[in-house]
């Protein structure tokens, strides 16, 4: 059995749509919201996505969980995939990562598997780094 080669693939993205709806749960110590975010990607990851997020925040920090459906190309391979990701922020420190849902890839991305890391640089540009294998 041979090991699959892992590829590191990077792209930048802008958030082109953001629809937020607040909700309440008795006893919650902060603000809760459901968000639909639309993203446009360029670079080795090119295409668009729609993410559904559940967010929670207060004056000390914030967090989210999301399911994101991406359609486009990853390293020249066309298809779609679902990324499940999450993040936490405490003060100015933030971390966000996730995984591609196994079996969620279509077309030339049918066998994609791996991890995702989201970041934002000092200029405010958002980035996605995938560490993946292609079946």
Q: What is the pLDDT of residues 80-135, one digit of tens each?
A: 999 999 999 998 888 899 999 999 999 999 999 999 999 999 898 999 999 999 98
Contact between 81 and 111 (Cβ < 8 Å): no
Q: What are φ and ψ of residue 80, in 5° steps?
A: -135, 165
What global pTM score does this model have?
0.93
Compute the distance between CA of residue 113 and CA of residue 135 in angstroms, rounded to an integer. 8
Please enumerate in sequence order all residues whose Cβ is within 8 A of that of 91, keeping only pairs 6 or more positions apart, or say none.
60, 61
Q: How many CA atoms lie within 13 A of 109 on its CB side?
A: 26
């Amino acid at each position: 059995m041979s090991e699959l080669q892992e590829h590191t693939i990077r792209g930048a993205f802008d958030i082109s749509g953001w629809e937020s709806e607040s909700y309440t749960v008795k006893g919650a110590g902060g603000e809760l919201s459901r968000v639909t975010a639309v993203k446009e990607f360029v670079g080795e990851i090119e295409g668009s996505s729609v993410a559904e997020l559940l967010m929670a925040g207060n004056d000390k920090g914030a967090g989210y969980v999301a399911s994101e459906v991406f359609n486009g190309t990853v390293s020249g391979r066309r298809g779609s995939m679902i990324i499940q990701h999450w993040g936490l922020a405490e003060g100015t420190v933030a971390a966000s990562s996730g995984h591609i849902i196994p079996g969620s890839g279509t077309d030339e991305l049918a066998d994609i598997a791996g991890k995702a890391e989201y970041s934002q640089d000092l200029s405010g540009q958002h980035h996605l780094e995938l560490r993946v294998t292609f079946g």
